Amino acid sequence: MERLWAPWRMEYILNPKPGGCIFCLDDERDKDRENLVLHRSDHSFVMMNRYPYCNGHMMVSPYRHISDLEKLKSEEMLDLFAAVALCTRVLSDKFAPQGFNVGINLGKAAGAGIDDHLHLHIVPRWIGDTNYMTVIADVRVMPENILATYDKLLPGFLA
C-alpha cells in the first residue's frame, strides 16, 4: 500500500466547520486574511478557494446573498465581471498561466457546492498542470501553502 502524507489536512479535520454562508463576509472586513479575501469593491469581493483545483484558484461573489444571475442589478453585474477581469490580470502578472477556466455553477445539478450564493470561479491553467495523481489517485497536489499564495497575490490587488 502506498501512502500520501498530507499533515495539513488535520487542521481541516479538527477545526470547527463554518456555519452559515461562506460568501456572506461583508461584516467581517477585519478578517480578510483569515477568510482569504484578496479584494473588495462596491458590490463584490474576491476570495481564494480554500480547497482549490490548483494554486491561485479564486472566487468572485456579490455581497448580496442571491443565487440567480437575473437578480443581479446592473451595477452588481458590472462590478462582478470587473473583479473577474482584475483576477485574470493579477494572476497573469504573478503566475503567468497559459489560460483560465472562468465559470459559474448555477444550482446543485450544475455542480455548485454552495448553490444559494452566486459566485464565479477563476482557475489559472498551465499546459500539463494535471498529472497522474489526479487521474490515478483522485488526489490534487498543491505545490504551495495557500497563505503563501495569498501573500504573493495580495500586492497585485492593492496596486
**What CATH number corresponds to the domain at position 101?**
3.30.428.10
Give the lowest-confidence range in 64-68, 96-100, 103-107, 142-146. 142-146
Closest CA to 62 of 84, 43, 90: 43
Q: How confident is the model at residue 57 (pLDDT cuts 50, 70, 90)?
A: very high
Q: Report if pTM > 0.85.
A: no
- Please say whether the beta carbons of 80 and 130 come within 8 A: no
Catalytic annotation, pick one of 39, 43, 119, 121: 119
Number of domains in the chain: 1
| Coil/strand/helix, residue 2 | coil
Residue 157 dihedral angles phi and psi, to the nearest 5°: -85, -15
Q: Looking at 26-40, 45-59, 124-138, which range is the least confident one?
A: 124-138
Concerning whether 119 is annotated as a catalytic residue, the answer is: yes
In terms of residue numbers, what domain contains 106? 33-153
At 85-132, the pLDDT tens digits run 999 999 999 999 999 999 998 888 887 788 889 999 999 998 877 654
Distance from C-alpha of 86 to C-alpha of 10, rounded to nearest angstrom: 33
Under a CB-based contact definition with an 8 Å cutoff, are residues 133 and 139 in contact?
Answer: yes
Residue 110 lies in a domain: yes
pLDDT of residue 106: 86
Inside any domain, residue 141: yes
